[in-house]
Amino acid sequence: MKNDKSIETKLRSAVSHAVPDALDDILSACDHEKGKVIYMEKKRTSPLRSFAAIAAVLVLIVAGVFAMKTFGGSSADTLAAVVSLDVNPSIELNVDKDENVLSAKGLNADGKTVLGDMQLKGSKLDVAVNAIIGSMLQNGYLDDMANSILLSVSGVDGYNAETLRSKLASDVNKQLKDCAVLSQDVSGADSETVKLAEKYDISVGKAALIRQIVSADARHSFEELAPLSINELNLLADGKSLGTIDSTGKASSKAYIGRDAALEAALKHASLSKNDVRNIDIELDYEYGSMVYEVEFEVGTTEYEYDINAATGEIVWYEKDSGGNIEQGGSAIDGKDSVGKDKAVQTALKHAGLTSSQVTQLEAKLDRDGGKLVYEIEFRSGNYEYEYEIDASSGSIIKSEKDLDD
């Protein structure tokens, strides 16, 4: 790093010494040139200029948006549909039945950044969507490391949202090569989805997507997934049924170290080589507040499970299970188990109204549940089987079950 800097400093100095002095020539030439030479696009186009190749064509379209503002879009039609675009920025567009934009709103801070001072009111919806995507590219919200976008359309008073959804999805697919587009009609979103969207301050469309993922994989909770970007959600959704959500393209995992590197990190920690292990299973997941590679393998009767931070390769959590003899660790749990196994067991027993001498087959295991560290405690007494989940950081009882065992 230090050497990088010194090369950079040397280059800076070398160039500053090599530069000719052209100022006098420039100043005298300016007198003749003022107003003649126009190398840039013509004036008063857009503040959006020159970004990624995929967006190049969009620049012209953005210019069109500004023209629209001046010349057209005076129709004061009523709201027919609401279109939301989620990437991480979240933007909502209200449109009339002729697909003219009535208003545009950033639903989060990033969404507001993307909209900037673009005036989309009065422009056509497809033009506005192009402009927004262009701005997302320019602002770095969409790139080859995060290429997923969620389009959600909601129709008002019987407006055909499905037609609009499929048209927008195909438009976006055409404009953004190598992108992943999720799209859905959320006209029929239930009140629970709307409530969750409000509670977590996200679009109804994103809330609907998260609910689909949670219902396909119960290990996740809504709360845990709400802050994720659409690309992260799309990675988690990979291979799962998403109900009525249309999905094209593949979410990018280029921001991550990759499966091979994750396996390597896990094997290195376990002091094993790839040839030693069998039943290797690697899956991208979200645990303890970060994207992780969940790596599993076996050696003899010993099972290994690792959560490797997908971006950094850090070992977030691991468990080595040798026939019930469990060893655990990792940055997410080391030093975070403030309650301790004994205290957790005491809490469960006290709740059950039993003492340790009255129970058999006592098992206590540190585990995670939706990113939370918990003790799973099981024991039997009489004809009953007890099951507890105790929060490992607070000691509070999350779950208690008592079943008649017959």
Partner 1 sequence: MLFMTVATSEYSEAKVLESLLARIAKGDKEALGELYERTHAAVFGFAMSMASTPADAEDVLHDTYLAVYSSVESYTAKGKPMAWIMTIAKNLARMRMRKARRQLDIADDDWGRYLAAKSEVSSDERVLLQTAMKILSDDEQQIVMLHAVAGVKHREIAAILDMPTATVLSKYSRAIKKLRTVMEAD
How many Å apart are CA 343 and CA 348, to the nearest integer? Answer: 9
Instruction: Assess 50 for contact with partner 1 (CB under 8 A).
Output: yes
Kindly give the residue spans of alpha helices, DSSP state H, lying in 123-203: 125-138, 161-175, 191-199
Residue type, 324: G
Stretch that binds partner 1, among 10-18, 84-92, 103-111, 214-222 (CB under 8 A): 10-18
Question: In this chain, which of 52, 67, 194, 398 binds partner 1, going by CB under 8 A?
Answer: 52
The closest alpha carbon to 164, from 147, 178, 184, 148, belongs to 184
Instruction: Assess 56 for contact with partner 1 (CB under 8 A).
Output: yes
How many Å apart are CA 128 and CA 122, to the nearest integer? Answer: 9
Stretch that binds partner 1, among 51-59, 229-237, 352-360, 362-370 (CB under 8 A): 51-59
Nearest distance from residue 31's CB to partner 1, in Å?
9
Question: In this chain, which of 205, 254, 334, 335 binds partner 1, going by CB under 8 A?
Answer: 254
Instruction: Assess 34 for contact with partner 1 (CB under 8 A).
Output: yes
> Does residue 51 contact residue 137 with C-beta atoms inside 8 Å?
yes
Instruction: Assess 7 for contact with partner 1 (CB under 8 A).
Output: yes
How many Å apart are CA 47 and CA 45, to the nearest integer? Answer: 7
Beta-strand pair 290-299/302-309: antiparallel
Nearest distance from residue 43's CB to partner 1, in Å?
5
Nearer to partner 1, 50 or 322 (CB): 50
Instruction: Assess 22 for contact with partner 1 (CB under 8 A).
Output: yes
**Sheet with strand 278-287: strands edge to edge:** 278-287, 290-299, 302-309, 315-322, 325-329
Angle between helices 230-237 and 204-216 (to 10 degrees): 30
Instruction: Assess 177 for contact with partner 1 (CB under 8 A).
Output: no
Question: In this chain, which of 17, 76, 241, 324 binds partner 1, going by CB under 8 A?
Answer: 17
Nearer to partner 1, 29 or 227 (CB): 29
Restricting to residues 296-335, name those near partner 1 by CB under 8 A. Answer: none
Nearer to partner 1, 16 or 360 (CB): 16
Instruction: Assess 42 for contact with partner 1 (CB under 8 A).
Output: yes
Restricting to residues 120-149, name those near partner 1 by CB under 8 A. Answer: 138, 140, 143-145
Rounded to 5°, the CA angle 336-341-345 comes to 135
Instruction: Assess 25 for contact with partner 1 (CB under 8 A).
Output: yes
How many Å apart are CA 202 and CA 228, to the nearest integer? Answer: 11
Instruction: Assess 33 for contact with partner 1 (CB under 8 A).
Output: yes
Instruction: Assess 49 for contact with partner 1 (CB under 8 A).
Output: yes
Nearest distance from residue 48's CB to partner 1, in Å?
9
117 backbone dihedrals φ, ψ, rounded to 5°: -110, 30
Question: In this chain, which of 43, 76, 323, 325 binds partner 1, going by CB under 8 A?
Answer: 43
Instruction: Assess 70 for contact with partner 1 (CB under 8 A).
Output: no
> Does residue 153 contact residue 82 with C-beta atoms inside 8 Å?
yes
Nearer to partner 1, 8 or 405 (CB): 8
**Contact map string, positions 71 to 110, toward partner 1, x by CB under 8 A:** ----------------------------------------
Nearest distance from residue 119's CB to partner 1, in Å?
14
How many Å apart are CA 324 and CA 362, to the nearest integer? Answer: 12
The closest alpha carbon to 59, from 220, 175, 186, 170, belongs to 175
CB proximity list for 308: less than 8 A, separation 6 or greater: 257, 262, 265, 266, 292, 293, 295, 314, 315, 316
> Does residue 348 contact residue 369 with C-beta atoms inside 8 Å?
no
Stretch that binds partner 1, among 11-19, 93-101, 125-133, 196-204 (CB under 8 A): 11-19
User: What is the DSSP code string of 286-310?
Assistant: EETTEEEEEEEEEETTEEEEEEEET
Query: Which residues contribute to the site for partner 1 (CB under 8 A)?
Result: 3-4, 7-8, 10-20, 22-23, 25-27, 29-30, 33-45, 47, 49-53, 56, 138, 140, 143-145, 254
